[in-house]
């Protein structure tokens, strides 16, 4: 028995020695201080054009994304003079006027450091309308579909983005509130601010594309768009999604398709290998410098869908408050608990508050829904 013990000790020491001799490999692509320009946006034929400019950073860089500010950004038409975009927020440039379909346009960017970038000319494609948004419950999610068609058979390539919003509640609807000096009082019965019902929104991060290239008709029926998982609070009360549809050229579709393969379908032996993503934007100052992004031009079609929890089958959907608990707090500790991030909910028996009584308290995120969203009802909510 002692012999086996020493064998294990020697083996462990040997493995530790080997591990100590192995140096981590840091490929130059990971550590290189490359800061390539990223162009995100499109030329809008049905509203304002918004272009976002940022810079890449290597994987070892823990800093936040770097935005390209104070740049001169212009849209140039073959038949019209250059139009300058205004920097409406950090790294975001906006052209308020709508671009007409009778011209071809390109984007010119000149940074504050003097580097110049130029895109190819692109035409404004007309996007067909979305015919329907439908949904179907599955075992652990809700599948959302889109239907669209182009009777002229001229579109063939499609891309979608979405913004979704859902309603949610805090764990407890408080009868008490915090007064000045971290004291407690009854919530005002006149105009109490709602902190029980809130909404939160998010934007799509995945790449959603579709094509009718191999079909005789330019028709997409029940095209799968996205899955909304039932293990999140999104479907607990009511969920809404606004889908935006964009007509694409074949070249733009191939760019997004390659980007989707490179970013979403890697990880197994049979997945496609990463490939370079040539766009239609180049650096004029230094032609060997890569530029990330693809400039398209198109109108926008959109449609909104609502899904109420009452429409779903009888499935258990979490409310996001499963870890919330109520604690009984004596009067002498209440101010300190408020200072630490707790909020009062009610007296022990639900009667009006009086000084010196024990109260029920919980963490702020369990009482005030504004910690996770906004209590301002969206204008489109119904």
Using pLDDT thresholds of 50, 70 and 90, give the confidence band for residue 263. confident
- pLDDT surpassing 60 at residue 144: yes
User: Would you say 131 and 147 are in contact if contact means Cβ atoms under 8 Å apart?
Assistant: yes
pLDDT-wise least confident of 42-51, 170-179, 186-195: 186-195
pLDDT attached to residue 35 = 87
Token reading at 223? 């095209």
pLDDT-wise least confident of 62-71, 72-81, 364-373: 62-71
The number of CA neighbours under 13 Å toward the Cβ of 344 is 28
pLDDT-wise least confident of 5-19, 26-40, 50-64, 333-347: 5-19
pLDDT attached to residue 6 = 46
- pLDDT surpassing 50 at residue 11: no
pLDDT averaged over every residue in the chain: 90
- pLDDT surpassing 60 at residue 30: no
- pLDDT surpassing 60 at residue 22: no
- pLDDT surpassing 80 at residue 59: no
Task: For the chain, give the percent of residues with pLDDT over 70.
Answer: 86
- pLDDT surpassing 60 at residue 380: yes
CA distance 145 to 297: 25
Helical spans, DSSP H, in the chain: 2-20, 28-31, 250-264, 334-339, 364-367
CA distance 356 to 335: 12
- pLDDT surpassing 70 at residue 160: yes
pLDDT attached to residue 34 = 76
Q: Is 367 helix (H, G, I), strand (E, B) or coil?
A: helix
Tens digit of each residue's pLDDT (9 = 90 or more) over 179-219:
999 999 999 766 678 999 999 999 999 999 999 999 999 99
Q: What count of other Cβ atoms lies within 10 Å of the Cβ of residue 265?
A: 11
User: Would you say 232 and 318 are in contact if contact means Cβ atoms under 8 Å apart?
Assistant: yes
Bridge pairing between strands 297-298 and 43-44: parallel
- pLDDT surpassing 60 at residue 96: yes
CB < 8 Å & 24+ apart, contacts of 13-22 = none
pLDDT attached to residue 3 = 47
- pLDDT surpassing 80 at residue 113: yes
Tens digit of each residue's pLDDT (9 = 90 or more) over 270-304:
555 555 678 999 999 999 999 999 999 999 999 99
Using pLDDT thresholds of 50, 70 and 90, give the confidence band for residue 7. very low
Q: Average pLDDT in the 11-34 region?
A: 52
Task: Please provide the distance, in angstroms rounded to a whole number, between the alpha carbons at the two ends of the chain.
Answer: 74
Q: Which residues contact 187 (CB under 8 A, 6 or more apart)?
A: 174, 175, 176, 177
- pLDDT surpassing 80 at residue 329: yes
CB < 8 Å & 24+ apart, contacts of 250-255 = 250/156, 250/157, 250/213, 251/280, 251/294, 252/157, 252/159, 252/294, 252/296, 253/157, 253/159, 253/209, 253/211, 255/279, 255/294
Tens digit of each residue's pLDDT (9 = 90 or more) over 236-250:
999 999 999 999 999
- pLDDT surpassing 60 at residue 27: no
pLDDT attached to residue 278 = 82
């Amino acid at each position: 028995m002692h012999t086996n013990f020493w064998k294990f000790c020697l083996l462990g020491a040997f493995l530790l020695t080997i591990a100590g001799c192995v140096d981590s490999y840091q490929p130059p692509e990971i550590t290189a201080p490359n800061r390539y320009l990223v162009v995100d946006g499109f030329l809008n034929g049905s509203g304002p054009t918004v272009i976002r400019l940022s810079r890449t950073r290597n994987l070892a860089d823990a800093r936040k994304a770097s935005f390209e500010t104070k740049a001169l950004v212009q849209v140039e038409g073959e038949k019209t003079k250059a139009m300058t975009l205004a920097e409406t927020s950090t790294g975001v440039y906006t052209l308020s006027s709508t671009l007409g379909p009778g011209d071809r346009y390109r984007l010119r960017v000149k940074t504050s450091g003097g580097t110049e970038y130029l895109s190819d000319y692109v035409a404004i494609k007309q996007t067909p309308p979305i015919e329907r948004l439908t949904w179907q419950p599955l075992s652990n999610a809700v599948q959302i579909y889109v239907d669209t068609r182009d009777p002229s058979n001229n579109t063939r390539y499609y891309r979608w983005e979405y913004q979704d919003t859902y309603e949610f509640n805090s764990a407890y609807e408080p009868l008490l509130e915090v007064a000045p000096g971290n004291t407690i009082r009854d919530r005002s019965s006149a105009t109490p601010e709602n902190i029980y019902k809130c909404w939160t929104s998010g934007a799509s991060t995945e790449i959603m594309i579709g094509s009718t290239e191999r079909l005789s008709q330019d028709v997409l029926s029940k095209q799968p768009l996205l899955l909304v998982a039932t293990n999140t609070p999104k479907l607990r009360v009511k969920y809404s999604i606004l889908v935006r549809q964009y007509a694409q050229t074949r070249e733009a579709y191939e760019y997004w398709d390659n980007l989707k393969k490179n970013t979403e379908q890697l990880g197994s032996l049979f997945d496609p290998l990463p490939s370079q993503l040539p766009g239609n934007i180049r650096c004029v100052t230094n032609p060997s410098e890569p530029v990330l992004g693809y400039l398209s031009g198109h109108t926008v079609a959109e449609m909104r869908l609502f899904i109420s929890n009452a429409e779903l089958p009888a499935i258990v959907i979490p409310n996001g408050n499963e870890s919330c608990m109520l604690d009984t707090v004596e009067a002498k500790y209440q101010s300190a608990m408020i200072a630490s991030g707790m909020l009062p909910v009610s007296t022990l028996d639900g009667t009006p508050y009086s000084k010196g009584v024990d109260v029920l308290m919980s963490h702020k995120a369990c009482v005030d829904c504004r910690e996770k969203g906004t209590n301002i009802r969206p204008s489109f909510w119904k």
